[in-house]
Structure 1
């Protein structure tokens, strides 16, 4: 097969229709929590209580009460925590107790509405919400929320039943292809999966294909999964004639599991049930009643699972062996509908039910069954059509990962649309043949991937409306691909290709040099030889990629390339590899991310200026007087950003702030992160750039952030127009480009960060990469290089905060665009203290993006107060732009470090006795400072040559000029000669 044959392109109209269907299904799928929240909000307005979130209005019950004429109800509750608490949203769902109807007057005596949660122990006029329980009780009877929600549920399934099934089939197919591409399904398994539930399949996929119902393929059974008689509502088992099983578990990161024997199935089941977190996620695939019964009897069930495993007895698993007859996706749709209705039956209480029994969930156990809030409604159904259980955060402790309904649904829509994009951009078969008919040859049928670069629909918008990623106003995203990735200099092949002839035959090896060596294939690109290998895509041949000659077998270390129509090789971003479309052509240059980015054609000449090496040329008073001046063009961009940012800050429309959490002073990093991200969209770490604790906090907790579904680290100092390509390349390939490493090293040297080089900007980026957290720049050259920018004399005060306004405004644009492009997700950011929260009247990123700001400062050993509400700090040195500036975030975290003493007076006080020493950073220099025998303070430069460190002090014998591989090793040498690091008792490594 060659790339010149006619191909049928994916149907763009089908893709657009399916995306529209997906959006409507997600937006209209009812959520019990969201419906209750809307009703509770309306109820507050009706009763004259405005501007309060019903999720933060609590009805507490107490055992005692004291009279207080200053309160709305006449009662207060002091030094007593409530024995039972519900938010108003929860109260709408669960209703008051049946007995409260006859004792409504006691609702204000032994209970009340408050803005403080159940952790508080004083409830009086300072935190009460002016509502009478009897009035709310009366309104509940008039509303009958149970019937209202059931009607909404019925209407959804009446209107969207067929669409839901279509999306379920599309999600299954997309996940199957992803599993094949990741090696989780072999070619044979992939074929079995399609044969079992989809049947004959032609490429490209069409909307009609997804709408068509099919029966199971011959020789294969499609069944439900059950454990101890409890049948999962959305897990499929594909069983062949030999008893081999392939599981489809929608909503999971790895949707397909191949299990060779019943023993393998039993072992997999133990893995899901033994760990509490895994069990919690796994049980979301079962109806609510089954979840409750399993949890109530978990000890007995686990004992039986383990004991039967030891005996080779697997009767507890798939004992019902329920066969899915007819179309599998119709079964999934019907099961989802039944599960949602059953959960509503179990959770809701109608007016009639209320007189007969206490509402479900409390009985005598308080909140034991439901936890803070049962997650009922759209999350139960949407994993079937592509939503991620992990990203939705379905568990007893956390309702949904996302503060607002719009944000949650934006995340789900992003995931579903991404799957649709992948499905309609697949490599396709020659002609329009059937994949099912291809059998085991399917792996060879897809001959060549076509790489097509598509510009995003629009640039980042400059809207200045209310913040928050609501679906109706979220900005279109960043470009879905980057610039062509650079090839590291040390990747050049050790081959002379002169005299050799590349393959000229059209096909897979066109343009390839075939060598009698290992590696055996190479290309010539830009007059330089590179080794290459062929990398498969989905279930067949894919593309050539340049490899690192020092590590040729590493998958991560490769850079995709393609042959243009002119016969020239060029690199291609991995996320620019798109199946379908015409034969490869020379790609168009990628667009700018926004109107504030330096245009591509100017970047080469402005690179030095972007790195801070040409300050004079960036001054507004300087002009080369040349007809063409890239610096003049840059200054026009910078001025436009300044004007737009200033206009935005004249009347900024800011969203409501998330509540600042109450944390114990000794809270560890995981507790801080978990608590902050429960209500906030993001966590903003504010720092003084030279300090270490902020970077230490991020590096030490990066894995925790990743586990908490933080997907992106937004960073100041990194420029979208000069660094994002390298950052994306690093994220995709795990190889840091030399240009990025050089910039980060320079940034660390200029900011005088950790002298031990452990907690630096460079190491923050590396730690994020290692944990799978993507790094996104939130500066651009125009927001960062303000040297010599002039403003009108009437704007002198404005000029002092120009940097804050320009960077904050631009960061807001980037974050919103990125959240739209990647799907709404949790994030963390690292930036200066003056950007994190409001500074001199300029709203910070935390205020603009519904985040919580934590200012982290370095302190000496033994002096940390842990985490507390930030009291603020006055800066007297003018580093931020005035002789006296005050920085303040939501919270303050003090981190103990060895180098808290920075000024010479502080260091002199620290070095209390002869032989004590510390380190002092200066711009691009590091000094050892010690107190000598004559009690004087002596500074000695720490030199570096070839990555090895030493000091020159002839009087110190063997330490003089001795080379050490690291600063800690050098300091250890000082300790061995009897000196002592002052102010620090812990190991440095």
Structure 2
């Protein structure tokens, strides 16, 4: 095998352990106490309870005025004009609470204030932009909350679940740092191997990779170490690890250079003394040794560091260090976990409870709430994250930016990458080209791949048909013949892997979970797509496996000769699993954010931008309104946000001509929205899905009865939404007012349909998640007039679901011919459509481009 092939083979062999550790990282980060998310969840609950809507708290404003006018049309009975005297978002209001004068006059809250979906720049605050929420109810909810107690519960729950996981990940981080220091020459190979065996006695040679089982074991021979409680610090930020003879290693988990070996403790003391004589470096040690550089105890630490720097010689420095030495007793990694746990617990206990707040009333709450952030880092980067490999330097986040970051998912994504970097190094994985090796570790394994067995799967009778959409345009070289994981594989120069099945080229990736190669989209090997596993026969030929056909039962009416089949993919995503669904929605948000980051989008410091005549926020660019802009960490487009609100009813106009839009003239709004969408970035990197059901007016019966067939053209006649989160589909493809016999919400019938747009099969869809009032739906939006061709029709059936599956491809709309409405299946007539809208120009805009 070539060196490149040997590297890839090693990467694949340890990938199973890597994915297990990645899941551990995800579990830890999911449950890591985040005060911002705590406040956000409680604000969402308040909005849901009082409005019945899943509103984004960061798009709900509290405004306070000096005057008010009565109105029978507004929810509170009052309206306001002009700029408010005081404005803040709902989350900020949770921190600062209502003004002190309202303490004894809470009835006036709803007279002189209100909640609105627009910021302080609006001309009017009335029924057109109000959030139907009473301030006195919110005030009562605030006092019913005890965020301090809730945060303490978060901390306790985190450690009860993850104390052992923390120990494992702290160990993997040390192993990673050993590899880094060895490669950089700060550790001799013998020193590195000695430390590896201290961490895990089964790592008997440099080439032996750790396993999850081995990492969980407590060392038979504990690490011989002492940590220095400089100035009385209770953080093991400076640790001396003893090797054979007189050799020692200093371990600074927070530093850029984490490990360094010395011939003797005296040499180590000399190096530390020299470090501390640099003021900037000394400040780094101070930050590592205390959670709060401004706390009373920090002064003693600062003085002790200065004393070490001012010693006359290395021997004096060593004497001071030894005076503060604390020997490690028992499992070193358990000690690290215990120290991190205690620090987090103390931080949580510093939070003032509601009972204490009541004596200080409103103003005291500001300081109390801000202390909540102590466990995440305004007083210093958390030791817990440092020990897991997520140092400030690796994460690439300024501490201040991390504290005030509004995008919690973005912060966690940065932490995840830093921690997986440690996993990558500890397993000895090597990048073979353009990030492909790290991507194989860091990608989130699809749930339908993670929880399934291929036992019982059989050979496909027609692999060419099943793999038609994944045929690659590539000429393959000779495959690898060496027995092992890579036998039969053709490897590209960047580590990409390919096979020829019945003479046709396909891209594949190895699934350590299934222990099989999978045929994947050639341009997106980590896409969430149905499983297409292959195996190498004894004759050296690749074979496609398929799930066994369903047997028995009373099948629904298939009609029109539709092929009935089961689906491991839909068996997973037709489940109701909020945690997994949120995980996929968060992946979509991160993807959409990365896409928007590549676009030149205007940035405004505060949401004080003007409104147009219909109340939609915008910024002015070259004398023209621009509705897409960035406000801090958030992307804004009021036009899109309004479309996604449940009561906007704009599609009622496009579908039936009903003028029920509450935010101005329908035609004017649609023209502005279309102009705005055209300017936004598009991509087709992921598959999209859309559910339909007769009870929602989106029946798929016409596909089942043979009215529509493969090759027919469908056109969107409304604002048509697809999702990239397949867990969302069930609520749109089934009757959610009913439950199955097992209690699962959503009953399917013969009108149920699921549309699928494979990755790369569409062009004009606009991802709108970051502009939406319902970001969890992970939407991509298509304007009216988008044309799709039916590529495949089948019936998918599972234990408690069945639907017609319609695979689509976006195509250019021919100048003539028969089209069918995507929503209804009826033949499309442009003149009838224009008459429905009572506006020929709008109809022509969408259908005569």
Structure 2 length normalisation: TM-score?
0.45
- TM-score of the superposed pair, with normalisation by structure 1: 0.40
